[in-house]
Amino acid sequence: MSKVISHSLFTDFDINLFKAGKHFRLYEKLGAHLMELNGVQGVYFAVWAPTAHSVSVVGDFNFWTEGEHELFVRWDSSGIWEGFIPNIQKGATYKYKILSNNGGLVTEKADPFAFYCEKPPHTASVVWDLTHKWDDSKWMKTRKEHNALDKPYSVYEVHLGSWKRGEDNRFLSYLELAEDLVSYVKEMGFTHVEFMPVMEYPYDPSWGYQLVGYFAPTSRFGNPQDFMVLVDKLHQAGIGVILDWVPSHFPDDAHGLGFFDGSNLYEHPDRRKGYHPDWKSLVFNYGRNEVRSFLISNALFWLQHYHIDGLRVDAVASMLYLDYSRNDGEWEANIFGGNENLDTISFLKEFNEVVYSNYEGVQTIAEESTSFPMVSRPTSVGGLGFGMKWMMGWMHDTLKYFQKETVYRKYHQNDLTFSMTYAFTENFMLPLSHDEVVYGKKSIADRMPGDEWQKFANLRLLYGYMFTHPGGNLLFMGGEFGQMAEWNFQQSLDWHLLQYPVHNGVKELIKDLNKLYKSEPSLYEKQFSHEGFEWIDYSDHQNAVLSFIRKGNDPKDDLIIVCNFTQIVRKNYRIGVSKKGKLKEIFNSDLEKYHGSNVLNTNTIKIESSPYGGRDYSVELVLPPLSVTVFKIL
């Protein structure tokens, strides 16, 4: 085997950008790159390890022998080790064997920039390329139109390892999912899928949130090109792809980023900032320029090479606050005496600025559970720069309300109406995510009160209310057919339930809600603006009824929504309206096809010149039990 040849892909400009924290295409330089040098095929390796005494590439090509292929350290104090090794081919497995200056510690590390990894529990990196012939040009050219904030966002959240399993409980491959999952999402009418982390992770019970291979889709389901096929097929079906991205923390596995070169290279050296007590993981040093380059490069990598349409950033609250999950004495205030992590705030603003300035038509979404201001407002006006934020308060209050027996709901209407006091302070997405169906919380369906019929009527009501409330929507897999058991990452969803009318009815409801959401401009054109919403009556707590208007750009598109949160059928229920004409029922969650009781407003209803509720006109409606009904003025 040939020895290492001194070679570099780095220019002085690259190094200056890297040191300044402004190199956002690091994956083109660091890592393992197949190339030809002086007519010889091989691999160029480069790794950042500034406190290393020596770095060797060990792999199946040299029997994992230290010192056979020792890299050269650059002269410019960048801490980068590099070199070209001839005759290594695609598919070779490798690691970096690092001898540290700190006491001679020797570690074997996976490549932080590897494009592909061995299938867990194996931990080596794999030499690979990113070639793929994309067939999604139509989507990419029109993506801006699909992903704009005034377009529908109905997101299906998916854990690839447990959406569906094959025989003997095996994982489906990316290629199988490219057939089964794509056709299902298209049938259901969701506008986007959101994948829980696909980047390589060692530990299945982490669900992917403890990442090691930030630049590699997990090999559990296939190779990088296979994952590209899945994204490609989704785009061809007109479905956007959002990835969960985890810049908040990483595990301390021996082959991972932790203590990489014998020093706190990626993690913050101060344990109060560099260790996460909840997840027993390490926290990135957001104030270190090279780490910022690593993370922002990683974000752009998925947008560039995998055509990803959005990044949902996990656990933003844990990043923003120095005292998050820490007791007094376990954290240190910032220079202004506050609990905000100023390095994180700076990093998130730069991340969003770089993403939006480099890729048209993408979105970033924050999972942020506090009242931190202006998360989804532009950095130019002092915001963090995200496109959207999860509305955790809506989720918490709404589920709390729905779990109550209907007889008590009249005392708790504020749980529902409170969301509208802050609904337009951010661009909110309403989430019913995986976090709500684990750890003894029960499934969404199983939380609903009453007998079986009432449980599923309540579930349909919840979904109807969610889809007609301002904001985008996100629903975790299984919720769309009313899975009763909590989510189990070790097995498939309970698809057999669809043989039962009550479950199939929920599935049909979600299909029709997606159709309604996408076909009615008033539900999405102003979904993040107070101009798109108006209460008709939020005060009828005695009957547990809410009524409101959703508005789009054209007043002709206005919709009237009435929610009945009890099982009592309310005949001759009067609401005030502001226009003459007739009302036509265009959606009813109580339809027989949904396994409802089929209480309908069958004919068009004439609006009367009879003032009511502070409006010049009014109309009498029939409100089905535990239902959402949607009307259009003709």
Where in the sequence numbering do the catalytic residues fall? Answer: 314, 367
User: How many Å apart are CA 85 and CA 61, to the nearest integer?
Assistant: 10
Q: Is the dihedral of CA 137, 218, 493, 156 positive or negative?
A: negative
Contacts of 587 (CB under 8 A, 6+ apart): 464, 512, 513, 516, 628, 629, 630
For 124, other C-beta atoms within 10 Å of its C-beta total: 19
Q: Which amino acid is at 226?
A: D
User: How many Å apart are CA 332 and CA 323, to the nearest integer?
Assistant: 8
Kind of pairing between the strands at 125-126 and 116-117: antiparallel
Q: Which residues pair with 199 in a beta bridge?
A: 217
Q: Which amino acid is at 437?
A: V
Kind of pairing between the strands at 428-432 and 388-390: parallel
Q: Is 417 exposed, middle or buried (0-12, 13-18, 19+ CB in 10 A)?
A: middle
Kind of pairing between the strands at 192-195 and 240-245: parallel
User: How many Å apart are CA 550 and CA 534, to the nearest integer?
Assistant: 7
Tokens of 531: 């101009």
Q: Answer whether 62's CB lies under 8 Å from 27's CB.
A: no
For 620, other C-beta atoms within 10 Å of its C-beta total: 17
User: How many Å apart are CA 633 and CA 577, to the nearest integer?
Assistant: 10
